[in-house]
Amino acid sequence: MSIRTTEIIVGAFVLACGLALAFLAVRVSGVDLEGNRDAIMLSARFDEVGGLSSRAKVSMAGVTIGRVIDIDIDTEFGEAIVTMAIDGRLSKLSLDTGARILTEGVLGGKYVGLIPGADEEYLVSGDVIVDTQGAILLENLIGEFVTGAGSK
């Protein structure tokens, strides 16, 4: 086989690989938030995160707008500190935005839901969300129900 033909075929092979990688990146993995350098980093303190994991979704009005990056514990106050990366395009999250930990469906994973606020100032990277509501543990609810029913 001539040198030229080999070169053309190898070139086509490399191109096919590039196309396959592009397919995987765009069609399968999508544009990634972690790769977005201007992501807004917010943290929030919760009294209970109950099964939230890092890489869990952060959503507002049901739309995914970010991911949980890190979960840490503050032993002094016994609170969990959840760090989130929010899509950098959403620069207008008002200062009094609230955060709750919610469950997807009955058996789904935990995620952070942001509740829009009304303040005219906006959150910037590094800010802390103050208005939070931790995870509601099903077993606690059942416990309360059982003891509540018993005391009547």
- Minimum distance from residue 16 beta carbon to another protein (Å): 6
From residue 29 to residue 68, the character string flagging contacts with another protein as x (rule: CB under 8 A) and all else as - is xx-x-xx-------------------x--------x----
Q: Which CB atom, from 61 or from 118, has the smaller least distance to another protein?
A: 61
In the complex with another protein, the residue whose CB is nearer, 46 or 111, is 111
What are the angstrom distances between the C-alpha of 115 and each of 27, 54, 56, 75? Answer: 30, 20, 17, 27
CA dihedral 113, 119, 121, 124 (to 10 degrees): -10
Contacts of 3 (CB under 8 A, 6+ apart): none
CA 82 to chain centroid:
10
Residues that bind another protein (CB under 8 A): 3, 6-7, 9-10, 13-14, 16-17, 19-21, 23-25, 27-30, 32, 34-35, 55, 64
